[in-house]
């Protein structure tokens, strides 16, 4: 089960609650998910998004590194194509954080 399940966006408004970063952090993904990274630490935060795609039968696609600068407090991420990022549970994984302190995530899907 994912650590974070996206809220469904609607024309009448959507309530979404952020979750604290964990290493690793899994997020349900249907390919139309936008993720808001909220950095209140005042320090740079780095992590990777795990890729699961293999091309040409034996070539792993490299994990995608993400850097959120010290002065960046709200950064939108995504969408993430399911064929490249989803695991067998239809989740994406953020891992290898330099620190999770002061970092939260919120997800919304259409």
Give 22-74 pLDDT, tens digit per residue. 999 999 999 999 999 999 999 999 999 999 999 999 999 999 999 999 999 99
**Parent domain of 56:** 20-109
Q: Indicate whether 103 belongs to any domain.
A: yes
Tell me how far apart the alpha carbons of residues 55 and 58 are, in angstroms, rounded to a whole number.
6
According to the model, what pLDDT value does residue 5 have? 94
Q: Indicate whether 42 belongs to any domain.
A: yes
Q: Indicate whether 15 belongs to any domain.
A: no
DSSP 96: -
Assess contact for 36 and 75: CB atoms under 8 A.
yes
Give pTM, 2 decimals: 0.92
Q: What percent of the chain has pLDDT over 90?
A: 95
Residue 24: CATH number of its domain: 2.60.290
How many distinct structural domains can be found in the chain? 1
According to the model, what pLDDT value does residue 44 have? 97
Provide the H-helix boundaries in the chain: 82-85
């Amino acid at each position: 089960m994912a650590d974070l399940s996206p809220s469904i966006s609607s024309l009448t408004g959507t309530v979404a609650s952020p979750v604290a970063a964990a290493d690793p952090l899994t997020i349900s993904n249907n390919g139309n998910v936008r993720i808001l990274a909220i950095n209140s630490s005042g320090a740079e935060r780095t992590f990777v998004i795990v890729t699961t795609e293999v091309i040409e039968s034996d070539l792993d696609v490299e994990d995608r590194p993400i850097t959120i600068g010290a002065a960046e407090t709200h950064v939108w991420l995504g969408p993430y194509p399911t064929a490249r990022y989803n695991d067998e549970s239809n989740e994406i994984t953020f891992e290898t954080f330099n620190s999770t302190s002061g970092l939260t995530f919120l997800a919304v899907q259409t």
